[in-house]
Amino acid sequence: MSSGNNSYVTEKSLNNGRDITLKHIFSSEKWKDFFENLSNATGFDLDIYDENINKFLTTKENPICNLIKSSSRGNAECPTSCTRFISEPLKLHKPITYKCYAKVTNFAVPINYAEEKSVIVGRKGFTSYEDFLEFLKIIKDKGIYEVPVTTPLHFENEEDVKKISLYVHNTVHYLLYNVQENQKLIEKIRRFTSLADTDILEKVSHNIDSICRYIVDTIEFILAAPSVAILVFDKQTSIYRTVYATGQYKDSLLSLQFNPENTLIKQVLDTKAPISPVLIEAEKLMPLKTTEEIKSLYLFPIVFDDSIDGLIGVLNGTLPKEDIKIINTLRDYIELAIKNHTLCLTIDKSMDEMLTSISDSALSIAPLLNWDSLLQTIVEKSTHLLKAEQGSLMLFDAETTELLVKAKKSLDDIIKENMRVHKGEGIAGKVFENGQPLLVEDVEKDPRINQKNKPRYKTKSFVSIPLSIEGKIVGVLNISDKITGDVFNEKDLRLIQFFATNASVAIERSLLHKKSEELRELSVTDPLTGVLNRRYLDDRLAEEIARFNRYKNPFSLLMVDIDEFKKYNDTYGHITGDRILKILASTILSSLRNIDKAARFGGDEFVLILPQTPKADAINIANRVKENVEKTFLSHSEELPFADLTVSIGLTSYPEDASSAAELLEKTDQALYLAKKSGKNRLVYL
């Protein structure tokens, strides 16, 4: 039975650390379909070989090669001729075109992925009439006197063959590169979300040394950078000095210091943006003995109250955009921690209650990863902080270039969720466009607004704050109607601005979590049917066995297979066959309990895990699945040619029938085989 790997994403992290070879990647269903489409698009029959020149995948046998192999003498010479050419691109590290001894034009493309190599060989026909005549002479010498002709004779231009080989080379490498880069990003996001924890920052925010260590250690862990350092501005000497460093160049970095008057440092101070000096700039920036080791340097400023209190240095590595975004996000967390630390040192007793309120509000939104709950909580907490009755949170929609109300607290239903405002339109639209907060005491007298107060507002005063992520405005937070009827003041503005910074970080953290969850869901879902895939099945079986070891609750396994599905596919085509698989998957899911899980095992086979279910109960569930499938197939008989399709089911229970996951799958497979052998359209259990 096939395993049914249906995803391009095939890295070690998606297989619990087990190595997945290039052969496994190319043998997945998605890649097989890709190579079939590539073969159809180029007109070349494709064969794929490993670095030992062993063929492990083919789209279609080339008819000319088949003709040559039909001769016993030709078959002996054909592989020998090709093997010599196929190994050549691995040595040259580039695609080649060649003619085999039968004068057939071929190309060979080297593929490199994760220190593994393979070769894609394309075969078609001849580039000239002379080659065709030579081919006829060769096969005549081999005792072949008839050439079956199914298509008009066409000669491929040699330059076109070279272009096609380069196209194949670039396309496959591009896809493999995306696979690798996508998985690297998933791993970095996973590490970031596990470390960027507000509780940790709360613990270290009262100690600058602890903050510095947290910054450096976290960046090194997430990005696996050779060296990371943090420099803090020394007010006595007016110099940025390294206070903590780690990694390969730790000793050199501990003595590092920068003068704010240095041209490159001034660039950081002026722009407050990360820069990446090359080696020659590094020589101007650092001692000569240091630049012998350090080849590149990124600097990320830590900003507080418009001054740069520190610099994060990431050395000897080229950072992609995703890494820079992750560091900037972490930097936002750190700036919050430093602000908390500074506020703790400078505020007086009268501010204690306010700070506690801010901290409580920030902590209440930090753990929220559910998108809607987070946005609504931000509105609730912001109105509570300013003792206001109404508020709304609007986010920018890049597709429509409009601001949408995503959460609200109001006295009536006039402010609708998903209400749209154009950029630059109204108060919120102007705040979004300008990126500046707006504090208004009287909307009718303020020259910036100069408009009549709307009936839904009890007072004429409000506050509107832009929300930003990495310096980019992403939304607007609006607060109106103080409960006391008073106007909002500068103290309220500073308070809500500080909370808005926390809110922006929480929003970005939730977005990262959403992306990570989407990627995780894709990695365990079969793209055709929407049920879980084989990878998830293996993990879940291991969990169920572990659960049995703890609680001694048996569970059962069903394997469902469509009878005569191959014949059906051959008769009606794969598109119709895919529709049948989707209908079957949907029917299975609707027949199961909430605790049950269904996964596509491969082809038309589905495996159903029934937790805490002994065999007697599992038999009832299996019969229900079988009956529902029969009814569903019958109900669709007019729109699809079902041809009396039925299913067979194999059933086993753990630990009654097996002592391991592998044995349980094998026994269930045997039960399904017996169901097929004994007449199909039935349930068999051991």
The token pair at 165 is: 């080989």
Amino acid found at 563? D
Of the two residues 484 and 83, the one the predictor is more confident about is 484
Separation of alpha carbons 588 and 585, rounded Å: 5
Residue-wise pLDDT for 548-600, tens only, equals 999 899 999 999 999 989 888 888 888 889 999 999 999 999 999 999 999 99
Bridge pairing between strands 105-113 and 257-258:
unpaired
Decide if 609 contacts 638 (C-beta within 8 A).
no
Three-state SS for 522?
A: helix
Of the two residues 412 and 276, the one the predictor is more confident about is 412
Judged against a pLDDT cut of 70, whether residue 95 lies above it is answered with: yes
Amino acid found at 571? T
Separation of alpha carbons 245 and 249, rounded Å: 8
Average pLDDT on 451-463 reads 85
Separation of alpha carbons 335 and 498, rounded Å: 11
Residue-wise pLDDT for 153-185, tens only, equals 667 788 888 888 888 888 888 777 766 665 655
Average pLDDT on 610-635 reads 93
Average pLDDT on 123-136 reads 80
Decide if 57 contacts 47 (C-beta within 8 A).
yes
Judged against a pLDDT cut of 60, whether residue 289 lies above it is answered with: no
Q: Give the per-residue pLDDT at 146.
A: 64
Q: Give the per-residue pLDDT at 557.
A: 96
Judged against a pLDDT cut of 60, whether residue 285 lies above it is answered with: no
Indicate if 534-685 has the same CATH topology as 198-346.
no
**Lowest mean pLDDT segment, chosen from 22-36, 414-428, 552-566, 614-628:** 414-428
Q: Please identify, in words, the CATH class of the domain defined by 368-494.
A: alpha beta
Separation of alpha carbons 12 and 17, rounded Å: 5
Which residues does 254 contact at the CB level (< 8 Å), separation at least 6?
A: 229, 242, 245
The token pair at 177 is: 């590169």
Q: Give the per-residue pLDDT at 398.
A: 79
Of the two residues 412 and 193, the one the predictor is more confident about is 412
Average pLDDT on 129-139 reads 78
Q: Please identify, in words, the CATH class of the domain defined by 198-346.
A: alpha beta
- The DSSP bridge partners found for residue 380 are none
Burial of 252 (0-12, 13-18, 19+ CB in 10 A): buried
Average pLDDT on 530-545 reads 87
Separation of alpha carbons 275 and 77, rounded Å: 60
Separation of alpha carbons 517 and 502, rounded Å: 22
Largest CA distance in the chain: 104
Bridge pairing between strands 388-397 and 105-113:
unpaired
Place of tokens 């970005």: 508
Average pLDDT on 359-364 reads 51
Domain boundaries, the chain: 12-184, 198-346, 368-494, 534-685
Of the two residues 330 and 413, the one the predictor is more confident about is 330
**Mean of the per-residue pLDDT values of the chain:** 77
Q: How many CB atoms lie within 10 A of CB 667?
A: 22
Torsion, Cα 528 530 531 534, to 10 degrees, reads 50
Give pairs for 282-286: CB < 8 Å, separation 24+: 285/258, 286/256
What is the DSSP code (8-state) at residue 318? P
Say which CATH topology domain 534-685 has: Alpha-Beta Plaits (3.30.70)
Q: Give the per-residue pLDDT at 159.
A: 86
**Lowest mean pLDDT segment, chosen from 86-90, 140-144, 367-371:** 367-371
pTM summary value: 0.34
Residue-wise pLDDT for 238-282, tens only, equals 888 888 888 877 877 787 788 888 777 777 777 766 665 443 355
Judged against a pLDDT cut of 80, whether residue 656 lies above it is answered with: yes
